[in-house]
Amino acid sequence: MEFFDWLFNTREGVLWLFVGGFVVCAILALVFERSTAKRFHDHEPVEGEEEGGFFDNLFNLGGDDSEDSE
């Protein structure tokens, strides 16, 4: 009972609860992403569909639409 008291009634415990939940969700996301990639490995891109994942397009890392180049 002392562990649960520490986990839910102290700031450090709640912080560890949050960090632990984040780590578990990140690990599950990686596992499910890999299993999905293995299942749909021969998916051909549709015309007009950009290559790469969500995070590749989030920050425009490709530099294709750069306004600085003239």
Does the residue 70 lie in any domain? no
Does the residue 69 lie in any domain? no
Does the residue 5 lie in any domain? yes
8 has pLDDT over 60: yes
Give the number of domains in the chain: 1
Does the residue 14 lie in any domain? yes
Domain that holds residue 1: 1-38
Does the residue 2 lie in any domain? yes
Does the residue 17 lie in any domain? yes
* Predicted confidence (pLDDT) per residue in 11-70, tens digit: 999 999 999 999 999 999 999 988 888 887 766 666 666 666 666 656 555 555 555 554
The predicted pLDDT at position 39 comes to: 82
| Region for residue 49 given its phi and psi (left: phi exceeds 0; alpha: psi -120 to 50; beta: otherwise) | beta
Does the residue 50 lie in any domain? no
Spatial separation of the C-alpha atoms in residues 48 and 61, rounded to whole Å: 18
pTM, whole model, 2 decimals? 0.54
